[in-house]
């Protein structure tokens, strides 16, 4: 058959995948034959059977999801990390599973160096590197301290933290303040511009926010802001414009009433208003609160953590507590800033995949079709991604409704068993840090966890089921 033969008659299409593709073609008059096909499942058959037949699983997952969706999130304070996390001196927190200086990637090393210089533990970059290489600075994951941090996630004792509380289950979660975009510490940059901004955040921004938050008549309902964001074109991970503006609206009256120089107040308001990702560092601990509420439920196959440190990707589940299952972090595919290209991008990094673990971010891309202009892809891709994620999850969260999908709740509660059965991996949209320390952000894109994480979790959950 020649190309001319193909074009001489209306096309007949065989479609395998989500219905959105078939529906779009039929709307254009094409003949479509749908084929039931999925990627092959993975995992040992005996392990899959052990989980599928575990009599605890249905009730345990129902409990996990119910706790996740019931959890609330209120902004109750802003305080330095050394106070709320009881951080000893010479301790730095970082994103993802545990790592060492030797295994740290370029942007992680850059952020750690910057934090050492910021804390004045060393006078020069060379001295800071020697200090970190000697093991004199303790490195520990944010997740081990009820904390999350975007990208490198490096948190030092002098950094100010959002302090969030769950009024339903009593949990607490924390996150540092967002620096903005571009050349920032969380992307591995540590030059004078970065350090000057961090010092201003320590000396001015943090204290002003503390006084403002403490003076508010009612705590800010951060979960409600997240729910409203999805109605306004945000997805809660790489697009936070509406959420940041709503947060500014809620905090502004209290900020302007703070007893501080008018120049400081003006700069604080300008900084927040010019930072489209200001809300992200509130959304992440909101998700952390919800997922921590679902920890420690024997028999549950639901994820409670997805996180990356730039070298490894790690996950945790409700049924296995604080145990990490890890694999090599993948490099995102997407769009690049300026002259940067794929060779400049570091493998995936950051605790911000807690948003996808909660059911927003890449799982709710249909709520924010404009996000594809930032991370690559098309609007149909965004819709199809959300449709696919429903196949990996246990429930739909009615509080996180997606307008374009008829206000259907976002896909919530990633199920290790469903991931293994379908062979599909969770979708994450993310920023990209430069591979070389000190570079900063080079782009944004899409990425998935390595399959190895889920294979390990599947085996562990199956072993636990057999011995229960």
**Which helix (H) or strand (E) segment is 188 a member of?**
none
Q: Return the H-helix or E-strand segment holding 289.
A: helix 280-292
Residue 40 belongs to some domain of the structure: no
**Contact between residue 223 and residue 232 where contact means Cβ atoms under 8 Å apart:** no
Please count the structural domains in the chain. Answer: 3
Structural tokens at position 466: 């057999």
Residues 85 and 222 placed together within one structural domain of the fold: yes
**Residue-level pLDDT at 28:** 73
- Classify residue 290: in a domain, yes or no: no
Instruction: Locate 152 and state its tokens.
Output: 């490198």
Q: Do 187 and 231 sit in the same domain of this protein? A: yes
Q: What secondary structure does DSSP assign to 365-426, as a single string?
A: GGG-GGGHHHHSS-HHHHHHHHHHHGGGEEEEEEEEEEGGGTTEEEEEEEBHHHHHHH----
Please enumerate in sequence order all residues whose Cβ is within 8 A of that of 7, keeping only pairs 6 or more positions apart, or say none.
Answer: none
Cα dihedral across residues 239, 283, 451, 345: positive or negative: positive
Provide the CATH number for the domain around residue 338. Answer: 3.90.1700.10
Judge whether residue 5 has pLDDT over 70.
no
- Summarize pLDDT for 208-224 with one digit per residue, the tens: 999 999 999 999 999 99
pLDDT digits (tens, 9 = 90+) for 401-432: 999 999 999 999 999 999 999 999 999 999 99
Pair 374, 462 in one domain: yes
| Domain coverage including residue 443 | 45-68+295-467
Maximum pairwise Cα distance, the chain: 79
Same domain? 347 vs 455: yes
Are 204 and 240 in a shared domain? yes
Give dist(CA 92, CA 106) in Å, integer.
16
Strand locations in 252-330, DSSP E?
303-309, 312-317, 325-328
Same domain, 86 and 203: yes
- Give the three-state DSSP class for 237: coil
221 & 164 share domain: yes
Are 409 and 390 found together in one domain?
yes
- What are the start-end ranges of the H helices in 119-173? 125-133
Would you say 246 and 221 are in contact if contact means Cβ atoms under 8 Å apart? no
CB distance 112 to 94 below 8 Å:
yes
Average pLDDT over residues 281-301: 98
Closest CA to 150 of 280, 239, 271, 274: 280
65-119 pLDDT, tens per residue? 999 999 999 999 999 999 999 888 899 999 999 999 999 999 999 999 999 999 9
What is the predicted pLDDT for the residue at 407?
A: 96
DSSP 340: -
Q: What is the dihedral of CA 294, 299, 301, 304, to 10 degrees?
A: 20
State pLDDT tens for residues 51-70. Answer: 999 999 999 999 999 999 99
pLDDT of 17 reads: 62
Check the CA dihedral 398-402-408-411 and report its sign.
negative
User: Are residues 252 and 279 located together in one domain of the fold?
Assistant: yes
**410 within a domain of the structure (yes/no):** yes
Strands 91-94 and 12-15: unpaired
Say yes or no: 144 and 130 in one domain: yes
Domain match, 404 and 331 both: yes
pLDDT, average across residues 437-464: 95
Q: Are residues 181 and 304 in the same domain?
A: no
State CA 153 to chain mean position distance: 11
* CB-based burial, 13-27: b 16+ in 10 Å, e otherwise: eebeebebbbeeeee
Q: Which two tokens stand for residue 259?
A: 């007893």
């Amino acid at each position: 058959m020649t190309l001319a033969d193909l074009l001489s008659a209306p096309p007949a299409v065989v479609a395998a995948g989500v219905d959105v593709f078939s529906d779009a073609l039929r709307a254009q008059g094409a003949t479509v034959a749908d084929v039931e096909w999925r990627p092959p499942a993975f995992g040992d058959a005996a392990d899959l059977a052990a989980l599928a037949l575990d009599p605890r699983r249905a009730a345990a997952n129902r409990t996990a999801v119910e706790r996740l969706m019931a959890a609330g999130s209120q902004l109750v304070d802003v305080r330095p990390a050394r106070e709320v996390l009881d951080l000893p001196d010479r301790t730095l927190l970082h994103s993802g599973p545990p790592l060492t200086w030797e295994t740290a990637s370029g942007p992680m090393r850059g952020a750690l160096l910057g934090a050492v210089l910021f804390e004045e533990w060393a006078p020069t970059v060379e001295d800071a590197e020697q200090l970190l290489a000697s093991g004199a600075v303790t490195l520990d994951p944010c997740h081990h301290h009820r904390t999350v941090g975007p990208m490198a996630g490096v948190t030092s004792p002098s950094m100010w933290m959002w302090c969030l509380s769950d009024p339903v289950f009593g949990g607490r979660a924390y996150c540092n303040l967002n620096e903005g975009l571009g050349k920032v510490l969380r992307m591995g940059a540590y030059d004078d511009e970065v350090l000057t901004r961090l010092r201003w955040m320590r000396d001015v921004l943090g204290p002003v926010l503390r006084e403002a938050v403490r003076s508010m008549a009612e705590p800010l309902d951060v979960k409600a802001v997240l729910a409203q964001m999805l109605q306004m074109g945000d997805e809660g991970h790489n697009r936070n414009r509406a959420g940041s503006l709503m947060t500014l609206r809620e905090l502004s009256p209290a900020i302007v009433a703070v007893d501080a120089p008018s120049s400081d107040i003006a700069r604080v308001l300008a900084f927040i208003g010019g930072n489209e990702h200001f809300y992200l560092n509130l959304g992440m601990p909101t998700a952390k609160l919800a997922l921590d509420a679902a920890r420690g439920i024997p028999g549950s196959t639901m994820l409670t953590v997805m996180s990356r440190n730039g070298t490894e990707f790690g996950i945790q589940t409700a049924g296995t507590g604080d145990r990490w299952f890890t694999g090599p972090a993948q490099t995102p595919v997407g769009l690049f800033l300026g002259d940067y290209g794929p060779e400049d991008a570091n493998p995936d990094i950051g605790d911000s995949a807690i948003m996808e673990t909660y059911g927003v971010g890449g799982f709710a891309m249909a709520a924010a079709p404009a996000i594809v202009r930032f991370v690559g892809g098309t609007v149909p891709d965004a819709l199809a991604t959300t449709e696919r994620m429903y196949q990996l999850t246990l429930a739909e969260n009615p509080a996180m409704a997606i307008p374009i999908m008829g206000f259907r709740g976002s896909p919530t509660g990633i199920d290790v068993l469903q991931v293994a059965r379908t062979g599909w991996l969770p979708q994450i949209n993310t920023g990209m840090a430069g591979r070389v320390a000190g570079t900063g952000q080079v782009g944004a894109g899409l990425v998935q966890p390595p399959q190895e994480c889920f294979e390990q979790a599947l085996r562990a959950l199956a072993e636990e089921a057999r011995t229960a």
